[in-house]
Structure 1
Amino acid sequence: MQTALMIYDGSAPTDSDVPRTGGVPLAPAGFTWPLCGCGGPLQFFAHLPVEDGVLSVFLCQNDPGACEFWDPGSSANRVHLFPREELRPVAVPVAGLTLLPVTSAIRIHVVTIDPEDALEEEGIEPDAYDLARSGWKLEPGERFGKQREVLGSLGGSPSYLEDDRLPVCPSCTGTMEFAAHLEEGMTWETAMNLGGQLGYVFVCTPCREGAFLTG
């Protein structure tokens, strides 16, 4: 059982093509900054290079809690799957809450757990992400802990999310695939406001459509 945790790794250049939270989004030419139904621009949360391109995650923070950024069908969030070719920094709107205060680099730390060692009572397999987040180590031999440095994970399965909440692609009507977890972050300077919830990023790779929700 392997989980690819995303670990806080200090600061990063605002326009770097590395896994990060915050900074400026990179997008193909012609990209227009997404707007919420409230009329304000969405805030850019994360740049996540994945096998099929780059995931860019945006949420509305213009009046936190007023817009339903936790709802995958809401205009208050947006997930884009961009091809890796010819990405460039996007012009940032002059008004609205568009950028996080700090750009945080992410490193990938793969946690491997023996399934036989991970079984709970009655042989029930525990949640892989929850187990990895609770028990990751910076170096072999160090104790478990420092959970606040975990910024989420890439791939795997959505933690404790019921099947009836899996988003459907608006283009092909197929069920989207899980792509990433997002945690709020280390401190108030670096944190993404997720309302204290765990964020879930989904994608339909053929249609290049994405979705976001919290739970």
Structure 2
Amino acid sequence: MMQTTLMIHDGTAAADSDVPRTGGVPLAPAGFTWPVCGCGGPLQFFAHLPVEDGVLSVFVCQNDPGACEFWAAGSSANRVHLFPREGLRPVAVPETGLTLLPAVSAIRTQVVTVDPEDRDDGVDPDAYDIGRAGWKREPGERFGKQREVLGSLGGSPSYLEDDRVPACPSCSGTMEFAAHLEEGLTRETSMNLGGQLAYVFVCRACREGAFLTG
């Protein structure tokens, strides 16, 4: 049997709440400044994800989707921060630029257990892929239910080639997979990722993060 910790859309949340969510405003330590893309515009805040050893804060450029390499690890068009849990406060939002999603999506986690033998298409089993598909059957299938899955926490990166796993820019060690992120449930709550699945990686020793899509 395989288990995956899915992140499920759970309604709305306050924009500055310290709960798992996409959208809203980032919470960061004092002195943090809003990240800027190489195009000169501010990045858009995507997700606030409390994890075991801190908070992952994810930003992606949406100023001109497709023009900036938001899909590439190490690009100036995305940013992942691993903040400590203590002393976080709402960050002042830049007055111009595409900085915030129109709506906030609260996230709850759900462990889904599925049997790899349920997959009969001849493809090697993938924990996230099977778990996301399995969500349609827990607790009951309905149209569009699979879009409620906003990603997953931990586990292994879904169908990502080994040579795309990023190295930490500080210590050059291989980074650890932290989360999948889907575009979102609706137009108001979703990030434009070109229809791709996003991957978040961290180096916990250096407190560095990385983002890519594939």
TM-score bracket, shorter-length normalisation: over 0.9
Q: Give the 3-state SS of the residue equivalent to 1:134 in structure 2.
A: helix
Q: Is the 8 A contact 1:136 1:144 kept in 2?
A: no
Give 1:205 deviation, angstroms: 0.5
What is residue 68 of structure 2 aligned with on the other side?
67
For normalisation by structure 1, the TM-score amounts to: 0.94
Measure the CA separation in 2 of the matches of 1:198 and 1:42. Answer: 19
The unaligned stretches of length 5 or more in structure 1 are none
Measure the CA separation in 2 of the matches of 1:134 and 1:119. Answer: 10
Q: CA RMSD in A?
A: 1.6
What is residue 188 of structure 1 aligned with on the other side?
187
Letter in 2 for 1:39: G
Q: Is the 8 A contact 2:24 2:103 kept in 1?
A: yes
Q: Give the 3-state SS of the residue equivalent to 2:11 in structure 1.
A: strand
Give 1:114 deviation, angstroms: 3.7
Measure the CA separation in 2 of the matches of 1:136 and 1:121. Answer: 18
Between Structure 1 and Structure 2, how many residues are aligned? 212
Q: Is the 8 A contact 1:118 1:126 kept in 2?
A: no
Q: Is the 8 A contact 2:10 2:108 kept in 1?
A: yes
What is residue 206 of structure 1 aligned with on the other side?
205
Letter in 2 for 1:131: I
Measure the CA separation in 1 of the matches of 2:105 and 2:186. Answer: 11
Measure the CA separation in 2 of the matches of 1:61 and 1:137. Answer: 30
Measure the CA separation in 1 of the matches of 2:6 and 2:74. Answer: 27
**Aligned 1:113-128 pairs, distance under 5 A:** 113-115=114-116, 117-118=117-118, 125-128=124-127
For normalisation by structure 2, the TM-score amounts to: 0.94
Q: Give the 3-state SS of the residue equivalent to 1:10 in structure 2.
A: coil
**Aligned 1:78-89 pairs, distance under 5 A:** 78-89=79-90
What is residue 156 of structure 2 aligned with on the other side?
157
Name the CA shift for 1:138/1:84 in 2 (closer, same or farther; >3 Å).
farther
Moved over 3 A (4+): 117-122, 137-140
Give 1:2 deviation, angstroms: 1.1
Measure the CA separation in 2 of the matches of 1:125 and 1:66. Answer: 34
Q: Is the 8 A contact 2:49 2:55 kept in 1?
A: yes
What is residue 76 of structure 1 aligned with on the other side?
77
Give 1:192 deviation, angstroms: 0.9
Measure the CA separation in 2 of the matches of 1:52 and 1:171. Answer: 19
From 119, 122, 143, the equivalent of 2:141 is 143
The unaligned stretches of length 5 or more in structure 2 are none
Measure the CA separation in 2 of the matches of 1:205 and 1:170. Answer: 12
Percent identical among aligned pairs is: 80
Q: Is the 8 A contact 1:135 1:144 kept in 2?
A: no
Give 1:63 deviation, angstroms: 1.1
